[in-house]
Amino acid sequence: MDRIREEPFHANCQHNQTRDITSLQLHEKIPLLGSYPVLITDFDCNLSGEAVLNGQEISQRMNSIKPCVFILDVDGVMTTGHFLYTAEGKVMKVFGPDDNDGLSLLKQHIEICFITGDKRGFPITKKRIVDDMKFPLDVVSTIRRVDWIRERYLLEKVIYMGDGIFDHYVMREVGYAIAPANADKHAKQFAHYVTERKGGDRAVAEACLHILEKFFQPYNPDVMPNEQLKLSGEWTV
């Protein structure tokens, strides 16, 4: 099964670009994190005189970068991706359980925000994400998302979760990418982690626990969350 595929933090060599450094006697190539170069201090040379890092060195360098923001698409990630229509238009979306509680566990460690390209369904999305869950939400075209993110954050410090046919363009640029189990095949191809659960069915909750374990402090199911930690506004601990 190709449901879970985890890779080092932005260490997928398919995503790296190179540039020449003329100050070196040899033709060194430096992998980039999104648009930001990694300084190579220890390297080996291949037969062409090119500086190369081995997989372990790349993994260590990438894993040393702490993400600062978790950006999530809404439709197909927080929802099942279905749009329910009547003669009056788009009237309903299906959100799933546990995702808000997973985000509540994670938000003490990292900034969390949502983006959507669905203008017609925005009032529905806003009701759930902003009014109920109290997270920021922006309307961002699916083909402008890399630029939107780059204007606000360092790409290598971004975790992005998406599912659509254009989300792989974002996943190729950010530090770490997550896709739900039922995402488009290109999104899953470029995701560092693919959840077992589908969008709208605890995929975000699973992603939150994965992020906690990989970058911060693993969730301990044997310890009750601190009473000071506000989980979903609809439930109490």
Q: Is residue 204 part of a domain?
A: yes
Query: One digit per residue, pLDDT tens: the chain, 237 residues?
Result: 444 444 444 433 333 333 333 333 333 333 444 444 444 344 444 455 545 555 555 455 556 678 999 999 999 999 999 999 999 899 999 999 999 999 999 999 999 999 999 999 999 999 999 999 999 999 999 899 999 999 999 999 999 999 999 999 999 999 999 999 999 999 999 999 999 999 999 999 999 999 999 999 999 988 887 754 655 555 554
Same domain, 111 and 210: yes
* Partner residues linked to 89 by β-bridges: 86
Q: Is residue 193 part of a domain?
A: yes
Q: How many domains does the chain have?
A: 2
Same domain, 18 and 103: no
CATH number, residue 120: 3.40.50.1000
Q: Is residue 234 part of a domain?
A: no
Same domain, 25 and 90: no
Q: Is residue 142 part of a domain?
A: yes
Residues 6+ positions from 198 with CB-CB distance below 8 Å: 80, 180, 181, 182
Q: Is residue 136 part of a domain?
A: yes
Q: Which domain holds residue 49?
A: 13-63
42 burial (CB, 10 Å; 0-12 / 13-18 / 19+) is exposed
- pTM of the model as a whole: 0.73
Q: Is residue 152 part of a domain?
A: yes
For strand 89-95 and strand 50-52, is the pairing parallel, antiparallel, or unpaired? unpaired
